[in-house]
Every structure is written in C-alpha cells, then in structure tokens.
Amino acid sequence: MLNVNQVTKKYGKLTAVQNVSFQIGNGEIAVLLGPNGAGKSTIIKCISGLLRFDGEIQINGLGNKTLEAKRALGYVPEMPAVYDMLTVREHLEFILRAYRMEDDGTADALLERFELFDKHDKLGKELSKGMQQKLSICCALVHRPSVIIFDEPMVGLDPHAIKQLKEIFLELRDSGVTVLISTHMIDSVENYWDKAYIMKDGAFVAERSASDTNEESLETLFFRLTESGESA
Amino acid sequence: MSSLVYLVTHKAKNRIREIFRRPSELIVLLIVAAFAVFVIWTGNMSRASETLRDMRELHAILLAIYLVVFVLIAKNGFVNGAAMFSMADVNLLFNAPYKAKTMLFYGLFSQMGHALSLGVVLIYQYSWLRSAYDVTLVKLLAIMIGYAMTVFLAQMVAMLIYSLTSGSDQKCRISKGIFYGIILAFLGVFGYHVMQGEGEILQRVVAAADLPIMHFLPVAGFLRFGVVGALSGNWIHVLIAVACFLLCIVVYYALVSLLRIDFYEDVLKAAEVSFSAITARKEGKAQELAPRNVKVGKTGITRGEGAAVIAQKHKIENRRSRFLLFDLMSLIFAAATVIFAVIIKDAVGAFAFSVYMMVMSVGSGRWAKELTMPYVYLIPEPPFKKLLFTIQEQLPALAAQSVLNFILLPFLIDCDWLTAVAMMVARFSFGLLFIGVNLLLSRIIGGNAGNKALLVMVYFLFCILASVPAIAAGVAVHFVYLGFADIAFSFLAVFAVNVLLSILLLFLCRNILASSQNNNR
C-alpha cells in the first residue's frame, strides 16, 4: 500500500509539487498523467526517497525513508540507470545481494521475458538504450517489491517488451502488488488502470477511478483539463 | 554573409552574452581574470632570481609537456578520432549543401579556437617561470602558442589515424605499433643518453632533451624547436617550426583529398562520444572511462551482502576498466612528482607538488560515479554504512599511488627513507581529506551548482581551508623539534591531523546516501 499525504516539494522558490495526497491500495494500479513539467517525476522521486519533501509518504504503513520501506519498494527511473562495467546478470545479482535476498529464479525469468537471457554476459555499456531500459525494469522487479513505481517505463521499449510489461502490470496487480505508473502516453495505459491522477502545474487537477461511470474517456478528460485550463 | 560565418559569429556573440546573463559565469570569468592579473603582477614584482636556473631545463620541460599532450590527444585516434565537430554540426551542417572540404576547414578553424583557449591556462605558471627562468610575458605567449599548436596538430593526427584505421583491427594494430614505436625509439635514445651522460641526473636529463635528434620528435620536437627559437630570439628557428606546422596541415588536407577520405563517418563517433559526455554532465552523471575492448573475464559478484556488495561491485568494475591501482593520469602525476623533485632537489616541495596534483584526481574515483546512480540511495541499508563501502575502493589505490610518488626519492635526492615513508602516509591522509571535502561539497552544493568552473574554484578553496590544520600541525611540530628531529615527524603530524579531520568530515556527511537530494542530485 502506498499512502501520499499532503506532499509539497519546493526547489528554492519554485514549487514543483503542491500539497499532493493520494492512496493506492494493495493490488491496485494507479496511473499518473500530466504534460511535461507537471511534477510527475518529482512526486515519484519523493516516493522513492530520492528527494526530500514536506508531508508524509508511507509504504506499507512505514515512512518511505525507513529501511523496511526501502526494502519493499521497486523503482524504475525515467532514464535507464545501468552500470557500464557490470554484465546484465551481475546487475540482478548486485540488487539481490544488496537487498539480502536469495535468487529464487525470478532473475532468469525476468531476463527471459525481456529477451535479455542470451545477453546475460553483455556489459551495461554494450546495451542499446531500449535494452538498458529493460534491464532497469528487471532491476526494479527482481527483489520482488510489494510497491513498485514506474517513471515513463515504455519509453524506448520495443513492441515485445511493451507487451510483456503490460502483462507484468496485470500480474503484479493480481498478486497484490501496489503499482504506480507515471506516463504521458495515455493510450498505453488506457485498459488496465484502477485509479488515474491527472497532474498540472504541480497539483492534481483530476482523480478518476475505473469504477466511475463516466462517458468521457481518460484521454478526452486529459486534454480538456490540461489544454483548456479547466478543473475537474 | 556566409552561413558558416554567421554560425561562428553568432555562437561567439551568444557565448559572450551568456556570460553577462549568468552572474555565476561572470563571477568565474572575473576571478579567472583577476587571478591571471595577480599572477602576472606578482611575477613582474618578484623579477627574476639573482641566480637563474639553467634555461635548458625549461627547454626540457617544454618538450615533455608538448610530447605528453600530443601523445594523450593523438592516441584517441585509435579509439574514436577527434572531437572536431559538435553533434549539432553533424546533424545540421553535414546534411546541408556544403562541400566536405569547406566543412573540414570549418572544423579545423573551430579546433584552432579551442586549442588557443586551452593554452591560456599556462598564464598561471608565469610567476615561477619568471623567477626561475626570466620568462617575460611575450616569451610566455610564445610558449602558449606552441602549446596551442601542439593541441591542434594532435587533434588533426587523431582524426587522420582514425580515418585511416577505423574498421580494421589490423590497420589499427599496425598504426599503433608505428605510433608508439616512433615515440619509444626517441625515448630510447633519450634514455640511453641519460644513462651514458655525466654529472647529476638533472644535468643528464637536460642534456639528453637538448640533443638535436629530439627536434625530430613528431610535432613536440619541432614545435619546441620553434618556441625555444622565439625565447632566444632566433627567428629562423621560429620560421622553420611555423613552416613545419603549415606543412602538416597541407599534408593532412592533401591526404584527405587524395585518399578521398569520407571524414563525416570518422568524426561521427567522436562527436557522439563528446555529446554523450556533455549530456551526462548536464544530467549529473559521471562518465565511465572504459577501454574500447573490455575484457569481461570472470562473471558474477559472488561476495558481499547488503552495503558490502557495493565494494565488491567496484572491484569488478575497476578490473574491467583496467584500473587496478594506477591509471594513466596517476602514473603521469607520479612521474611529474619525481621530475619535479629532481629539479628542485627538495622533498617538502615535491610533497606539496604531489598533493597539489592529487586535488583534482581524488574526485574522479568510482565512488563519485556511484553517487550519480539511484541504486546506492535505494539499497535498504544504513546510509553511513553504504558510504563507507562506497569509498572503500579508493583507499588501496590512494595508498599505492602515495608509495609510487615517493619511493624513488631516497635514490634521487637528499631524502632518507623515514622521511619518504612519512611523506607516503601524509599524502595518503590528504587523499582521505580530499574525499571528505568532495563529500562535504556534494552535501552543500552537489549537482545544483550552475557553473562547474565556479564549483571547481570553491572545491579548491575548501581543499586549501581543510589543509590548514594539518599544515599548521606539521609546521608546529617542525618548530618544536627544530634542530634535533627529522622533518618526517612533521609529515606524521600532518597524517594524524588529516585522518582526524577526514573522520569528522565523513561523520558530517554520514546521511548523504539517505536520499539523493542530500547530495543535491
């Protein structure tokens, strides 16, 4: 479970995120939508513990800076983060060791799914940007987190990897994992979200639940709110 | 107006405008200018020493500097050529209807400006050059122009090597053999004459560097010949050197034309490498200085749990980067320290020089790269523990480099073994101290500093301030034991104070890995 309560993030005089609150339960997929510069990556970095903030963020009921919360969290950064001098397989071994976990076969399964298994001895620097992104996703999933946040995960992925990732989203939901996806590719998440939050200028301008009976599609709502200046 | 002239003039105009728009850039420029004026002023005030040093020493120093710069830049031709063009040039100009030769001239012209700007750093050597060798400002200008010409020709050679060898490992191997073979042959002649010479080691080195055959050293030899001509008023020598310089450009241009070298493809790699380095800098990431062909070797981390795995990972990364205890720069710094010690014949001066050279290299360790990645912040371990394992990899290298810097001194100058060992441990402690300063600065300013040059200046200032307690302790010990104790005790006092201060700095930065914003990244 992820609980974000009254979070504000300022860079000097600039307020990047203003008083944002939301909650995502176990087995729920939430999407965070918004134009460039809306504050999506900032709130995601606050949740992942990379940024300081005012307010409260809890992961499974624990403050996000605690070691227990960090252990429960998986994070896919916006820019793929891989080590040039580690092989693909060593990246996953590094994460498992850092999180003090045994490999139960998840690592190989992830490499298979993302078509990286035959490249397990390739160095990070030898991977294309798309493959680096796949590896970054594998690193976030391999320690089997119960809360996972994706920042623009589809960027640079090939169709096969996008298909796999979408399946993984659903599998994570079915296994009770809390999933938060930040994206501006609305059509890529249209079919499987449970909650959607639209951000603009550092604040939420709309929240929608999949169970809401509303004729207006998410895409139409998004453009109405972000281009016209209306609020929901 | 030609579009290329428009591009060059507007780029320059906007660069100047940018300086005035950004206060930090203006401050840096003013500090740099003020410091240059200060150095020139103090140089002129001090005038030349009554007993000038042998001018041939300066000639030898120039040969060494030009040769090292030439080799370091030209050897890039075996990997990715020369960064003569920016990515914007490649994407916008190469597709535009320009002749390839026009583009080549544009690249060479841009490179010339870059090379000249690099030569400006030599201004800061004016003060000691003036007092030791009576180098006037005009003479310094000649040295700077020689340096700029070396950089320029080295870039050209790098590009030519890449054009002729890229895509063929065999050609690359042969060219490498020829390139290093020529350099080693000259060094062999140099070494032979040093061994066979008479007198002190410095006199033999100077005499060997002054041999007529050394004028034929590629690029460095004839440019040093011309600069020495300018220093001594022998304008025939200057003309010969300028003629050689122009001949190199004509030969290069002729080769590109005759061999119909399609250099667009050849510069692309260097442009991409340069672009990714610039992008990485903008994103606050540190670039991996990896060899082109990495030998992966044994795979698997196999050891370490929790924070300890960070240190194990660094060992593997260092092995693959071929950085065991020394990299090329640390070897050059060590050689420079030994040469400096031989020239000044003073252990304390050599120590100060060695520490000064270390100030910049400490911040380029793998631990600094680690701070730019998210994992080290996400790992569920106490931040201080992660910090200790992150900087652990630097310590063996720091110790080994400290030994290398001073191990030869007892054989070469008046320096006993106790002093040499004390200098080693004191240098090691300065390494620890500078790591602490790096961390503290990351904690305070980090990646948010708008201007990297300003950051470097602040870093230097912090390093100087942090060094004061240890230096004061060293001086105090020296005065207390003056007359009956060795200078080694002063170095040991430096070591003790630096270690204590480093521990304090680490403690102050103990939470830096709790979140990346503690490091302002």
Shortest Cα–Cα distance, A230 to chain B (Å): 34
**With contacts defined as CB-CB under 8 Å, which chain A residues touch B307?**
98
B519 vs B133, which has greater pLDDT?
B133
Secondary structure element (H or E) that encloses residue B261, with its range: none
Helix axes B308-320, A88-98, angle to 10 degrees: 160
- Closest partner residue to B296 (CB to CB) among A45, A73, A121 is A121
Q: Which of A81-85, A97-101, B285-289, B517-521 has the highest mean pLDDT?
A: A97-101
pLDDT at A181: 94
Please report, for chain B, the start and end positions of each structural domain, with discontinuous segments joined by +.
47-281, 302-519
* Chain A interface includes B309 (CB < 8 A): yes
Q: Name the amino acid, one letter, at A231.
A: S
pLDDT exceeds 90 at position B223: yes
Contact A68 B380 (CB under 8 A): yes
- Position B263 pLDDT exceeds 70: no
- Cα separation, B372 vs A84, whole angstroms: 13
Report d(CA B442, CA B521) in Å as an integer. 9
Show which of residues 365-404 on chain B sit within 8 Å of chain A, judged by CB atoms: 373-375, 377-382
**Which tokens belong to B46?**
């001090």
∠ CA B255-B256-B259, rounded to 5°: 70
Q: Classify the C-alpha dihedral B388-B390-B396-B402 as positive or negative.
A: negative
Q: Identify the residue whose tokens are 């640079």.
A: A156
Q: In this model, does residue B428 exceed pLDDT 80?
A: yes
Distance CA B370, CA A97 (A): 17
**Pairwise pLDDT comparison (B252 vs B121), residue with the higher score:** B252
In this structure, what is the dihedral angle of CA atoms B439, B445, B447, B451, given to the nearest 10 degrees?
Answer: -130
> What is residue B521's predicted lDDT score, i.e. its pLDDT?
52
Task: Give the three-state DSSP class for B97.
Answer: coil
Cβ separation A50–B374 shorter than 8 A = yes
> Which residue in chain A has the smallest CA separation from B283?
A79
**Between chains, do B373 and A52 touch, taking CB under 8 Å as contact?**
no
H-run or E-run covering A9: strand A2-11
* Whole-number pLDDT of residue A13: 79
Of A50, A79, A83, nearest to B377 by CB-CB distance is: A50
Q: How far is A229 from chain B (nearest CA, A)?
A: 31
The pLDDT mean for chain A works out to 89
Q: What was the pLDDT predicted at A29?
A: 94
pLDDT of residue B520 exceeding 60, the answer is no
* Mean pLDDT of the region B227-237: 92
Interior CA angle at B126 toward B122 and B129, to 5°? 110
Which tokens sit at A108?
A: 């190989």
Pairwise pLDDT comparison (B521 vs B482), residue with the higher score: B482
Most confident among A121-125, A191-195, B433-437, B447-451 (mean pLDDT): B433-437
CA-to-CA distance for B324 and B458, rounded, in angstroms?
Answer: 30
Greater model confidence, B195 or B93: B195
Q: Which pLDDT belongs to residue B54? A: 84
DSSP letter at A31 equals: E
Burial of A171 (0-12, 13-18, 19+ CB in 10 A): exposed
Confidence of residue B291 (pLDDT cuts 50, 70, 90): low
Select from A62, A94, A144 the residue whose CB has the most chain B CBs within 10 Å, as the one to mutate to test that interface.
Answer: A94
In whole angstroms, what separates CA A223 from the centre of its chain?
Answer: 22
* Highest mean pLDDT (candidates A55-69, B291-305, B453-467): A55-69
Instruction: Identify the pLDDT of residue B451.
Output: 61
Q: Do A97 and B283 touch (CB under 8 A)?
A: no
pLDDT above 70 for B400: yes
Residues contacting residue B501 through CB under 8 Å, at least 6 positions apart:
B433, B436, B466, B469, B470
Q: For A10, which residue in chain B has the nearest alpha carbon?
A: B517
The CATH code that applies to domain A2-228 is 3.40.50.300
Residue B484, pLDDT > 60, answer no
Say what the pLDDT of residue B42 is: 81
pLDDT at A229 > cutoff 70: no
pLDDT bracket for residue A180 (50, 70, 90): very high
ipTM: 0.80
pLDDT of residue B164: 82
pLDDT score of A12: 76
Question: B312-368 pLDDT, tens per residue?
Answer: 999 898 888 877 777 778 888 898 899 888 888 888 889 999 998 888 777 777 888
CA-to-CA distance for B309 and B295, rounded, in angstroms?
Answer: 21
- Position A191 scores a pLDDT of 77
**Does residue B474 carry a pLDDT above 60?**
yes
Taking residues B237-243, report their average pLDDT: 94
Q: How confident is the model at residue B50 (pLDDT cuts 50, 70, 90)?
A: low
Task: Decide if B140 contacts B122 (C-beta within 8 A).
Answer: yes
CB contact under 8 Å between A98 and B316, yes or no, is no
Judge: A86–B515 Cβ closer than 8 Å, yes or no.
no
- B250, B184, B218: which is closest to B66 by C-alpha? B218
Q: Which of A9, A71, A85 to mutate to test the interface with B (most CBs of B within 10 A)?
A: A85
Which pLDDT score is estimated for A96? 92
Q: How confident is the prediction for chain B on average, in pLDDT?
A: 83
Contact (CB<8Å) B380/A99: yes
Which tens digit of pLDDT belongs to each residue from A117-147? Answer: 999 989 888 888 899 999 999 999 999 999 9
